[in-house]
Amino acid sequence: MRMRIDVVTIFPEFFGVLDVSLLGKARQSELVETHVHDLRDYAAFKADGSPDVHRTVDDAPFGGGAGMVMKPDVWGKALDDVLKPTGVLVIPSPAGVPFTQALAAELSEAPQLVFACGRYEGIDARVAEHYAQDGYRVVEASLGDYVLNGGEVAAVAMIEAITRLIPGFMGNAQSIVEESHADGLLEYPSYTRPASWRGLDVPDILLSGHHARIAEWRHAQQLERTRERRPDLLPPAEGGAW
């Protein structure tokens, strides 16, 4: 089955990046098709039906406060047009659930993903609520604990993480199984030739040819790295800080 990805944004030109790199390859191989839509195309008329020459997509927040909020009527028109019955609505937001490898794997099985990229202070909260009420899966997801200017960069990162998990996309499926986060641990360190470089030697065990001992060493390295860099990923019994 071919995955369809739609992106709705006020910066459609930003998504030219989808044409290059691995993702460009996946599109050529027809595992995935992408469609980018300009949100302003849905802002030609105001909520009362009169023309809006400015194609306004945002307005001041009810209750006051800084910044602007994206209008639900404009988003409603765009999403009614773009979302298919089996589509999943993904809204990148610093207030979302963490975007993890497990979530990427789940989303890689959806027939259609629609990324709604908000700017300013986000999208009127009723948009997510409305499509969830309508029976769609709605995922508000955050890339990490920092704030970007909008959802565009986050959408590109999520699209890359998701599409590389589509079966047939990566040349070497084993590299997906072994990489960081696939088993809840960080990946072990990797080395290639030369065995000695600027006074630094590749660990002897990797040159030994003992496959079982190499696997054991790599697992120990995974645990050590994870303990040091990401204790939040480990239970206390493994030296972590769950």
User: From CA 113, how far away is CA 46, in angstroms rounded?
Assistant: 27
User: Is residue 87 part of the contact set for ligand ADE (CB under 6 A)?
Assistant: no
Q: Which two tokens stand for residue 59?
A: 């307005």
The residue among 103 and 154 lying less far from ligand ADE, judged by its C-beta, is 154
The residue among 18 and 155 lying less far from ligand ADE, judged by its C-beta, is 155
Given 94, 184, 231, 240, the residue binding ligand ADE (CB under 6 A): 94
User: Is residue 140 part of the contact set for ligand ADE (CB under 6 A)?
Assistant: no
Q: Is there a cis peptide before residue 236, judged by omega within 30 degrees of 0?
A: no
User: From CA 89, how far away is CA 154, in angstroms rounded?
Assistant: 14
For residues 228, 231, 233, 239, the Cα torsion angle rounded to the nearest 10 degrees is: 100
Half-sphere exposure (Cβ direction) of 222: Cα atoms closer than 13 Å? 18
Q: Which of residues 162-221 bind ligand ADE (CB under 6 A)?
A: none
User: Is residue 143 part of the contact set for ligand ADE (CB under 6 A)?
Assistant: yes
User: From CA 229, how far away is CA 139, in angstroms rounded?
Assistant: 28
Strands (E), 131-192: 137-142
User: Reduced to 3 states, what is the DSSP secondary structure of residue 25?
Assistant: helix
Given 69, 72, 75, 93, the residue binding ligand ADE (CB under 6 A): 93
The residue among 18 and 156 lying less far from ligand ADE, judged by its C-beta, is 156
User: From CA 13, how far away is CA 210, in angstroms rounded?
Assistant: 51
Given 142, 178, 180, 231, the residue binding ligand ADE (CB under 6 A): 142
Q: Which of residues 18-47 bind ligand ADE (CB under 6 A)?
A: none
Given 18, 92, 108, 110, the residue binding ligand ADE (CB under 6 A): 92
Task: Please choose, out of 46-54, 73-81, 106-114, 141-149, the segment that lies near ligand ADE by the rule CB under 6 A.
Answer: 141-149
Shortest CB 99 distance to ligand ADE, Å? 7
Given 97, 125, 147, 173, the residue binding ligand ADE (CB under 6 A): 147
CA-nearest of 13, 3, 8, 49 to 166 is 3
Backbone φ and ψ of 71, nearest 5°: -75, 135
Binding stretches for ligand ADE (CB under 6 A)? 92-94, 142-144, 146-148, 150-151, 154
